[in-house]
Amino acid sequence: MGEISNLFVVGMGIGTVFVGLILIIFFCLIIGLFCKIGSKKESVASADTKTDLHEERLENRQEIIAAVTAACAEDMGKDVSALRVVSFKKL
């Protein structure tokens, strides 16, 4: 038997990687479907709690802004009083 061609080795390596990536994508899609089925049952029961959590965030808005501002000031090495919050939006 002769030597294996370099192109064959490269082709097999690239093919193996792409087949592996495609299998990972399919596994993630299947697991995602199972998670969606399970979350539909929970979403009906937890619809009331979501509104309660949203209202709680509004009450603590100033505390959240203060904590984020303090973390930013610590990271930048500046004093907290030197920072001004212009806008604070949920992304």
> How do the residues of the chain divide into helix, strand and coil, expressed in percent and rounded to 5?
80, 0, 20
Fill in the amino acid letter for 51: T
User: 62 and 41, same structural domain?
Assistant: no
pTM above 0.85, yes or no: no
Domain total in the chain: 2
User: 85 and 71, same structural domain?
Assistant: yes
CA–CA–CA angle 81, 87, 91 (5° rounding) = 125
pLDDT at 89: 77
Tokens linked to 38: 């399970």
CA–CA separation, 8 and 33 (whole Å): 37
pLDDT digits (tens, 9 = 90+) for 4-55: 899 999 999 999 999 999 999 999 999 999 888 877 665 555 555 555 555 4
User: 1 and 19, same structural domain?
Assistant: yes
CA–CA separation, 53 and 8 (whole Å): 58
Count other Cβ atoms within 10 Å, centred on residue 69: 16
Domain hosting residue 90, numbered range: 49-91
User: 56 and 36, same structural domain?
Assistant: no
